[in-house]
Structure 1
Amino acid sequence: MRAKSQPIGVDQCNCFTVRKAARQISRLYDAHLQPSGLRITQFLILATLNERESASVNVLAERLDIERTAMGKMIGVLERDGFVTMRPSPEDGRIRIVELTPEGTSLFERAAPLWREAQHRFSTLNGAENVDALRHSLVEMKVGTDAPSIPE
């Protein structure tokens, strides 16, 4: 008879805890951003473009830690809706440069106060010091660079 192994405590899994918190936080931000029609990931793309004026799809994907193909799809939606434009890079035509349109800038400016409300609500719920400490801890978090690759 095979010995029964210890059950895996899902609530003790670091990945589960962080992912669950991330989903809950995303829902909070999405709810606040809802009047703008944006979700938090779309808002962060617009915010990044607002900071940089333009960026390649790859740079946006790296900056926001989103897979390049997923970023391309999100940019496609924003382009379809008239909030960004894409053009080939003058240095390398294979690279696509993304820029905010005037409509995208206007949407970002309308959504930014909603994002600030979400930031304030999250800090109010959890305490400003706790939120600052959490953000700092997550930035400093080490997860290793030698993670096994996922076969495609």
Structure 2
Amino acid sequence: MEDEPAQWPIGRLLAAAARAVEREWDERLRAVGLQHAALIALDIALRNGPTGADVIARTARVQPQTMSRTLERLERDGMIERGPHPDDGRRRVVTVTEHGRTMWDTAKHIERDLLPDDPELRRHLTAVLVAARAPRRRS
């Protein structure tokens, strides 16, 4: 008997689907010069406007050091600029450049081509994430 995905436990099916999509997405992003972490940082920075690296890291749910490396690459590649914070000279503000916007637009097209937005799928995946983050009761 073949190992049919339709018969797999839901956790295995979800993990396998996520890995397959992520592999293809990462490959397509690399082909245009982006990494997945960079896309997340660009997306957050574009949605929030000029903002601190700490906000981007917290929103992405990664450690500040991890985000710092991503932002260094983005700055080196001309996709963001980091300048002084208007209210606190010790902090820096991340701003997406025109090149960064172009790269983000390109990446969004890749995402839509790979996995068109399906409201039902979005609803189910959101429910999975909410359930996974909910506090667990001990029996």
Q: TM-score, normalised by structure 2?
A: 0.73
Match of 1:27 among 14, 19, 23: 23
1:53-64 → structure 2 map (5 Å cutoff): 53-64=49-60
Identity across aligned pairs (percent)?
26
1:63-74 → structure 2 map (5 Å cutoff): 63-74=59-70
Summarize the Cα distance change of 1:33–1:23 in structure 2 as closer, same or farther, 3 Å threshold: same
Find runs of 4+ consecutive structure 1 residues off by over 6 angstroms: 16-21
1:47-126 → structure 2 map (5 Å cutoff): 47-120=43-116
Q: TM-score, normalised by structure 1?
A: 0.68
1:120-139 → structure 2 map (5 Å cutoff): 120=116, 129-130=120-121, 132-139=123-130
Displacement of 1:97 in angstroms is 0.8
Provide the aligned C-alpha RMSD in A: 2.8
Summarize the Cα distance change of 1:130–1:112 in structure 2 as closer, same or farther, 3 Å threshold: closer
Aligned to 2:3: none
Aligned residue pairs total: 126
Summarize the Cα distance change of 1:89–1:26 in structure 2 as closer, same or farther, 3 Å threshold: same
Point out the structure with max Rg over C-alpha: 1
- Stretch moving more, 128-137 or 35-44: 128-137
Indicate the SS of the match to 2:107. helix
The runs of 5 or more residues in structure 2 that have no matched partner are 1-10
